[in-house]
């Protein structure tokens, strides 16, 4: 009986894909890309698996880029005393 955590398509390594994903604290998209890269190495659809991995990585790059942009916007927001809310830019004057 084969072990679902160590499919033969990943070779005879000591770790299953879930061990790598957990140990490296990978999210879904990163973990899926790693899995597809392993499938490309040990499977029979090398080009297709690499192309799928690239798509997952592109999605991750877009997601992280958007998260960084949001974080930067939040960092540039400043508290204006007496105004009761945050403003995006502190270049406005209190005229």
Query: Structural domain boundaries of the chain?
Result: 9-87
Examine the pLDDT at 18 and tell me if it is beyond 50: yes
Confidence of residue 1 (pLDDT cuts 50, 70, 90): very low
Determine the pLDDT at residue 60: 93
Cross-strand pairs, 79: 86
Question: Helical H runs in the chain?
Answer: 17-23, 28-42, 46-76
Per residue in 29-88, pLDDT (tens digit) is 999 999 999 888 887 899 999 999 999 999 999 998 998 888 888 777 665 666 655 555
Q: Which of 24, 55, 52 is nearest to 38 (CA)?
A: 52
């Amino acid at each position: 009986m084969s072990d679902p955590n160590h499919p033969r398509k990943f070779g005879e390594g000591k770790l299953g894909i879930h061990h790598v994903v957990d140990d490296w604290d990978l999210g879904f998209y990163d973990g899926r890309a790693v899995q597809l890269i392993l499938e490309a190495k040990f499977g029979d659809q090398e080009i297709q698996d690499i192309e799928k991995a690239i798509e997952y990585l592109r999605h991750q790059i877009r997601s992280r880029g958007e998260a960084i942009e949001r974080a930067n916007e939040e960092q540039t927001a400043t508290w204006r005393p007496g105004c009761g809310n945050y403003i995006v830019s502190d270049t406005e004057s209190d005229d």
